[in-house]
Amino acid sequence: MKLFKYLLQHKLAMLIIILLLVGQAFFDLMLPNYTSQIVDAGIQQAGVEHVATDELSALTHDRISEASAAQTAADFDEQLFADSYEKDPQTGTYRLTEYGKQHREELDIMMARPLAAARDMLSSDTSDELIGQVGIAAARAEYKDLGYDMGMMQFSYLLICGLKMMGFVVAAVVISILVSLIAARTSATIGRDLRQKLFEKVISFSDAEVQRFSTASLITRSTNDIQQIQMMSMMFLRMVLYAPILAIGGIIMVAQTDFSMGWLIGAAIGAILVIMFGLMAITMPKFRIMQKLIDRLNLISRERIAGVSVVRAFGQQQREEKRFEGASTDLMRTQLFTNRTMTFLMPAIILIMNLLSVGIVWFGAGQIDAGAMQTGDMIAFITYSMIIVMGFMMLGMLAIMLPRADVSASRVEEVLACPLSIRDYEGADCCQWRQGAPAIEFDHVSFCYEDGCEQVLHDVTFRIEPGETCAVIGSTGSGKTTICKLIERFYDVNEGAVRVNGCDVRDVPLAQLRKQIGYVPQRSFLFEGTIASNVGFAEDDMSEARVLEAIEIAQASELVNESEEGLESPITQGGTNVSGGQRQRLAIARALATDAPVLVFDDSFSALDYKTDANLRHALGAQLPGRAQLIVAQRIATVMNADHIIVLDDGEVVGQGTHEQLLATCEEYREIAQSQLSPEELDRSAALAAPEASGGEAR
């Protein structure tokens, strides 16, 4: 799964966590063992843990030797017994030696029957299963006869076991905290890195890729999807990794306790796995649908909030509320389905756990009655069984979150793996801009936005020399904005070539190309910040003088002068706290503040009044004489004084020349002029064009 791909990038953290979890599992698994010892040895056996007592009376020692004579050599090792106890000359009793302590388990098995016989506690019907418990009872009687304080012995044993258990608990808690800290840091790092990679990828997208995913979906993938991955990474490192370690450790401890009832645990685990995989198969398709519905909800919310003034203007609040409610209801129904489906998991696991406990008690009671198992062992077996089932229950949590996280990981990976349609080609190197070459040149350019679609531009050819002002005019949808996007290389041409300063834009690194162009988009957009940060956006530390100069040329000085903060006047997101004309002038100033030799204005004067428009164009010609300018406009007044005008109609160039030449030679241009200019202005322009009407040729 793609989720594990992100986790494997942090191998060291995972290795440290695994080692810590092994330690935590060891301490957790020791607790049931000590619980069993407290019940069996501490309570039932009054603190006597071994048949081989620390001290034997001389009479008991001799009786054991006599009783052992009736056993075979395989049952009783006389040499081991002799080496394990030595006589205390002061008390006359026999004390357990260091050698005996090292072989105490062998002594426990070997001495159980002889000690019981020596204490007259062995009957003819004592079974092999009960001999161990009878031997413990004999050892307890021996301690009592020797004058040991049995109450203190029991208390000491319980105290020691309790302190050990407390130590294990403290160690497990410390390890758990360390694991949580490392897991939280690792998952947060995964989320941070993914957000960074996704942002870097999206910021390099062309319009085609953005339209393919949609802005709403990209926002969802950058926020909700990555949050799902981060949460699942945390759970995986903290719980999912711990589950198999705990389960395997529990199985090992069960095998050491009593594996005769292991089939009960196997049946419980099998039932849990069937339920888990069944629920995953049902919910996985719904989780994919859920993320798409979140995309849809984000799209409607974002679009309606951005266009709230339009919604109110047309009185469509109720209709838009119903649309939002519909999208929200669809998401709610899908979430309810997945949540209701997953609610079966926990009750089912709890039911299985309870049935397992009943089964262990049912079959364990018979073994206790037969003497094959002690009460503490059954308690430990139940506890270990619950630990094993709890391990698989943690994996059940994985079954709840993994499907959605996996869908989220696939959606994020889809963006990261998306090939860029506009990128630096191999071999693209710093271009040597050719002196004297046209600033912008279209050489038989044809273009369509998608393969198989109708061409937006067809065989477009023109050139703009350095210092020249060229205007592009035409009806709506004629391809004017497309020309600007091709110059910036937001798209690549299908046929022909676009050149800037003599270099094909496809052969130039994008960063270098765009430093040559000061671009003002059709929709003026400002970033949250200040006037200074927006106008000086092209450079990190642009000088104040340069910013002020650009603002002055763009006719936006009064915006700075009228504000007490001056250049530090705040600008909200999108520039919504300034008027459309002010926003447009600041966007123009942002382009003018660059050192770019080419300026591209994509219908950037539409929000300006005629006086400001004229003053701005005059300032551009007077103060920036060396820069080539491409002006896309709808108004004749904006383009009529340009050095060169290009007329587009349905993606084709139908006329090129000056204003006067086009009035005389281009019908499409003349129709636009007639719709915007008065008869007197047309007559004046026609008179100027008369001397050139016969020989004026468009470039």
For the stretch 423-469, pLDDT in tens is 887 665 666 666 667 889 999 999 988 765 788 999 999 999 988 99
Residue 71 has pLDDT above 60, yes or no: no
Beta bridge partners of 464: 440
Mean pLDDT of 185-193: 93
Q: What are phi and psi of 518, to 5 degrees?
A: -95, 110
Strongest mean pLDDT among 129-143, 393-407, 627-641? 627-641
Identity at 354, one-letter amino acid code: N
**What confidence score (pLDDT) does residue 600 get?**
93
Cα 156 to the chain's mean position, in Å? 53
Residue 83 has pLDDT above 70, yes or no: yes
Q: What is the mean pLDDT of the chain?
A: 84
Q: What are phi and psi of 94, to 5 degrees?
A: -105, 125
Residue 646 has pLDDT above 90, yes or no: yes
More confident of the two residues 564 and 495: 495
- Selection from 564, 422, 427, 405 nearest residue 493 by Cα: 422
Beta bridge partners of 86: 95
pLDDT tens-digit readout, 550-593: 999 988 888 888 888 888 889 888 888 888 888 889 999 999 99
Give the pLDDT band of residue 194 (cuts 50, 70, 90). very high
Beta bridge partners of 530: 570
- Selection from 7, 67, 21 nearest residue 177 by Cα: 21
Cα 315 to the chain's mean position, in Å? 40
The CB density around residue 523, as the number of other CB atoms within 10 Å, is 11
Q: Is 505 within 8 Å of 513 (Cβ atoms)?
A: yes
Q: Is 481 within 8 Å of 410 (Cβ atoms)?
A: no
Residue 74 has pLDDT above 50, yes or no: no
Token pair of 265, please? 């645990």
Alpha helices in 429-530 (DSSP H): 480-487, 510-515
Strongest mean pLDDT among 389-393, 664-668, 685-689? 664-668
pLDDT tens-digit readout, 367-381: 776 666 667 777 777
**Strand 517-520, strand 469-474: pairing:** unpaired
**What confidence score (pLDDT) does residue 324 get?**
86
Cα distance between residue 12 and residue 113, in whole Å? 55
| Residues 382/385/389/391 CA torsion (nearest 10 deg) | 120
- Selection from 183, 168, 146, 217 nearest residue 10 by Cα: 183
The DSSP code sequence of 105-149 is HHHHHHHHHHHHHHTT---TT--TTTHHHHHHHHHHHHHHHTT--
Beta bridge partners of 646: 472, 656
Token pair of 367, please? 């073994």
Token pair of 626, please? 């060396």
Three-class secondary structure of residue 390 per DSSP: helix
**Residue 85: which region, alpha, beta or left (left: phi > 0; alpha: psi -120 to 50)?**
beta
- Selection from 383, 360, 54, 112 nearest residue 246 by Cα: 383
pLDDT tens-digit readout, 44-67: 888 888 888 888 898 888 888 876
Residue 73 has pLDDT above 50, yes or no: no
